[in-house]
A and B are shown apart, each in its own frame.
Chain A
Amino acid sequence: TQLLEQSPQFLSIQEGENLTVYCNSSSVFSSLQWYRQEPGEGPVLLVTVVTGGEVKKLKRLTFQFGDARKDSSLHITAAQPGDTGLYLCAEDGGSQGNLIFGKGTKLSVKP
C-alpha cells in the first residue's frame, strides 16, 4: 500500500502570509487530489492533478504536481482566516478502488 507523507503536520500563521504544504510518496502517483476539511465536516475537493509538471490555480491557491509524479505541493498566497482547515492529499488507488489519504496538514490562519 502506497503511503502519502504530508508536511508540515501543523502550521499556524498570520493573515496575509504565504505558505506551502507538501505531499510526497515513494511511488509514482496515478493522479492526485487535494481536499480541504473543516472540523466536523466532510472533505471538499479542491483540485485533481493528473499530468507530471502540471500546475493548477484556484484563486489564491496554486497546486503543483511534480515532474516525476511522486510529489505535489499546495501554495496559498496571502492566507486568510477562511483558509483555516485540514488540507488532505489523496491518491486514486486505481483498480483497487481505494482513495488513499495522507494524514493532512492542519492550517490555522490568525487574523
Chain B
Amino acid sequence: EAQVTQNPRYLITVTGKKLTVTCSQNMNHEYMSWYRQDPGLGLRQIYYSMNVEVTDKGDVPEGYKVSRKEKRNFPLILESPSPNQTSLYFCASSPQLGPYGYTFGSGTRLTVV
C-alpha cells in the first residue's frame, strides 16, 4: 500500500531533550515536507526537500532540523524542544514539485512539558 509512515504517533517529552520524528514513504517520491498544525493557525510548513541531499526552510523552521540522506526517509529533529513546539506534526510527500497532490502521514502529536 502506498503510504507515508510517521513514528511515533504520540510523544510526550521534557524541555531540552533531543528527539527525532521519523518519516518514510514507499512511493519513490522526490518531494517531501514537514508541517505543523496548530489551532487557529492551520498547517504551516517547517522544512521541505526536493530530492536527496536537497533541503530548504519553510515558513516556521526555527528550532527544527531535517536531513534527506535517502529518497524514502525525511526525519525531523528537535535538538532542544521547547513547550512552544507542542503541536501536531505531519510529514507529506509528492512525486515532484507541482500540481500532483500530496500524500500525508497520519501525524505525530508532540507534547513538550
Name A residues whose Cβ lies closer than 8 Å to a Cβ of B.
1, 30-31, 33, 40-45, 48, 50, 88, 90, 92, 94-95, 97-99, 101-104
How many inter-chain contacts with C-beta < 8 Å in the A-B complex? 61
Instruction: Determine, out of B13-21, B69-77, B79-87, B102-110, the stretch whose residues face the partner at the interface.
Output: B102-110
A43 to B45, CA, bound (A): 14
Pair B101/A98 contact, Cβ less than 8 Å = no
Chain B 36-60 near chain A by CB (<8 Å), digits 1 or 0 = 0000111111001010000010110
Given A40-B107, A45-B101, decide whether A104 and B42 contact each other with a Cβ distance below 8 A: yes
A88 to B40, CA, bound (A): 13
Give the chain A neighbours of B40 by CB distance below 8 A. Answer: 103
Question: With an 8 A cutoff between CB atoms, is B97 at the interface?
Answer: yes
Give the chain B neighbours of A104 by CB distance below 8 A. Answer: 42
A40 to B37, CA, bound (A): 11
Pair B104/A42 contact, Cβ less than 8 Å = yes
Kindly identify which residue among A92, A98, A101 contacts B99, using a CB–CB cutoff of 8 Å: A92
A52 to B99, CA, bound (A): 14
Q: List 17 A-B contacts (CB under 8 A).
A: A30-B99, A31-B98, A33-B101, A42-B92, A42-B104, A43-B43, A44-B104, A88-B42, A88-B43, A95-B97, A97-B31, A97-B33, A97-B50, A98-B58, A99-B33, A99-B102, A104-B42
* Chain B nearest CB, measured from A40 CB (Å): 7
Give the chain A neighbours of B102 by CB distance below 8 A. Answer: 33, 43, 45, 99
Pair A92/B104 contact, Cβ less than 8 Å = no
The 4 closest A-B pairs by CB, nearest first: A42-B104, A31-B99, A45-B101, A103-B42
Given A97-B33, A97-B50, decide whether A33 and B45 contact each other with a Cβ distance below 8 A: no
